[in-house]
Structure 1
Amino acid sequence: MERDPKNKVVVVTGGAGGIGYEIADKFLKYGAKTVIILGRNETLGAEAAQKLNTKHGEGKAVFIKCDVTKDLDKVSSEIFQKYETDVLVNNAGVLDEANMRRTLETNLMALMDWSMKFWEHWRTDKGGRGGTIYNISSFYGYDYNPYTVYYKTSKAAVLSFTRSLGHPVNCEKSGVRVIALCPGFTDTTILTGKVWDWHNEGFQRVMKEEVVLQRPETVGEAAVEIFKLANTSEVWVAKNDEPIKLVQVTYEEVTP
């Protein structure tokens, strides 16, 4: 499995800002051919692409307006017609404890839909070229406190999906590596999302007293480092500005 970011065409959902933007930036820093950033806000997306092109060279970044919950078929068809893609980074996500359905549709269902669209497109057993699906989960996908109930549920499901679809049996057949990154608390707009009113005080206390709030740039660097190291189905953590760590998991031996 090719793990060098050089000359890769990378698609990043939710790539106009925050962690998604930094992942796009760092892939370009380490030699990616093109990054395609997807997002709902056309103004922010165009500005992000312009900024990346100014920094890394004209034509290195492309923005496509996209709501990941609605525009899968249209946007993926456009991408597949124009580019030979190598990496899908499922980064788009929300923190909205006032809307369970929106949280699950954005953080989980859209991620699964986009993953399967690219997985089928890349399958080497069906004539595809292989690739890497890179899911951005959260340390809240495996670590628990009373807060952000819907968000945690969505992120835990992302880890189960990553480990199952990325199982070595599936990877060997399809030629598609599936990996996950779990960032810790990171200084992005998602931390201003809605939590239950009676959780707000405790959640804010956790952010202030129990964690190191890391910069998005740190997560971007970690993402590329993990891309180079990770085997299929692996889950890696980047939190509290500490070195990245592999989350250990044991698989039952199966016969394909």
Structure 2
Amino acid sequence: MIWKWLGALLLFPVQMVYLVVKAAVCTVLPPKLRDLSGENVLVTGGGRGIGRHLAREFAKRGAKKIILWGRTEKCLKETTEEIRMMGTECHYFICDVGNREEVYRQAKAVREKVGDITILVNNAAVVHGKSLMDSDDDALLKSQHINTLGQFWVRQALEYGHIVCLNSVLALSAIPGAIDYCTSKASSFAFMESLTLGLLDCPGVNATTVLPFHTSTEMFQGMRIRFPNLFPPLKPETVARRTVEAVRMNQAFLLLPWTMHVLVILKSILPQAALDEIYKFSGSYTCMNTFKGRT
């Protein structure tokens, strides 16, 4: 038994070096990309914003069928027609992922009409842009139901081979004025991290979590960063393109842009007082003061 533990102890650092070198090589050499031609892709919140661009990108990359879920039929219809014009089969279902019974009902309808879902993209989210004292209970519950619990319900209702979560860098670095959103996204991140680890022994079932910086959609309209030229908002089409690339490469976690890795490192090594000054200097403490986005 001692020799067995000693062997495992000696082998572990070798494995770590191998995996780090392998990851470094993969960043230089072009990876083998997954073929999407046989995939049925479901995008929640697919009628507008990043969801609409995700539907376009999956269609552009050859997905077999695109299925859209959302709460606004007008937007869903417009996106569906656009995808069909691209030559890809597309269907939409009106569904509020914050409503458990509605999720289960529409999941059954999808299976009956379209077939099994092989790629599930959890993109639907809401933000109210208020402090804790200014938030009412219904708004707080709505954020948790849609941004976090909806992922549990969609996961239990559908079978698929790859789950994708459009999260936010705010799951790792919260800001004032969006306490409902930051809390729900942190919970969502923990859900995906636990799910990713749980799938290690499940060949063919994968997970991808995308954590983008502020994206220029109507959802966060009015949000202001102190140095917009240094930290410009991401374009939704860029987030969509990089997300589909991550799925095709079977990448577990993706931070956008790459400079967000620096933020994660700083949060790990700096004292809270220093982090407070960084947030003040960058304008993170007041960025939601001018918020007037869509809730």
Instruction: Give TM-score scaled by structure 2 length.
Output: 0.68
From 235, 253, 270, the equivalent of 1:235 is: 253
Corresponding residue pairs, total: 221
3-state secondary structure, aligned to 1:204: coil
Secondary structure at the aligned position of 1:237 is classed as strand
Q: Does 1:62 align with 2:91?
A: yes
1:73 and 2:93 correspond? no
Matching residue within 229, 234, 243 for 1:214: 234
d(CA) in 2 for partners of 1:225, 1:39: 24
2:143 to 74, 88, 103: 103
Note if 1:226 corresponds to 2:246: yes
Report the equivalent of 1:125.
Answer: none
Runs (5+) with no aligned partner, structure 1: 123-130, 194-202, 249-256
User: 1:173-188 counterparts in 2 under 5 A?
Assistant: 173=202, 175-188=204-217
> What is the rounded CA distance, in whole Å, between the counterparts of 2:191 and 2:205 in structure 1?
14
Partner of 1:126: none
Give deviations 1:132-155, integer Å, cap 9, x for gaps.
Answer: 010110011112333412211111
Aligned mates of 1:206, 1:153 — CA distance in 2: 23
In 2: Cα distance, 1:156 partner to 1:86 partner:
26
Determine helix, strand or coil for the equivalent of 1:180. Answer: strand
Question: Unpaired runs of 5+ in structure 2?
Answer: 1-32, 266-295
C-alpha distance in structure 2 between counterparts of 1:146 and 1:67, whole Å: 27
Task: Tell me, in whole angstroms, the C-alpha distance in 2 between the residues paired with 1:161 and 1:204.
Answer: 29
Mapped contact 1:86–1:132 kept (Cα < 8 A):
yes
- Note if contact 1:207-1:213 (Cα within 8 Å) is conserved in structure 2: no
Aligned to 1:254: none
- Higher radius of gyration, 1 or 2: 2
Map Cα deviations across residues 61-116 of structure 1 (whole Å, 9 max, x no partner): 21111111221111100112231321000000011133211111110011221123
TM-score (norm 1): 0.78
**Separation (CA, whole Å) in 1 of partners of 2:170 and 2:209:** 13
CA distance in 2, matches of 1:159, 1:207: 27
Q: State whether residues 90 and 111 of structure 1, in contact with CA within 8 Å, keep that contact through their aligned partners in structure 2.
A: yes
Choose which of 71, 75, 96 in structure 2 pairs with 1:40.
71
CA distance in 2, matches of 1:223, 1:212: 19
TM-fit CA distance, 1:52: 1.5
CA separation of 1:6 and 1:148: change in aligned 2, threshold 3 A? same
Say if 1:159 and 1:235, in contact at 8 Å, map to a contact too.
no
RMSD (Å), alpha carbons: 2.6
Q: Which runs of 4+ in 1 moved over 6 A?
A: none
Amino acid at match of 1:227: V
Residue aligning to 2:183: 153
Deviations 1:117-175 (A, max 9, x none): 23xx34xxxxxxxx0010110011112333412211111111111111121x4342474
- In the alignment, the residues of structure 2 paired with residue 53 and residue 244 of structure 1 have an alpha-carbon distance, to the nearest angstrom, of 36
Q: 2:117 aligns with which of 77, 85, 90?
A: 85
Q: How much has 1:29 moved relative to structure 2?
A: 0.5
- 1:172 to 1:225, Cα distance in 2 relative to 1, 3 A: same
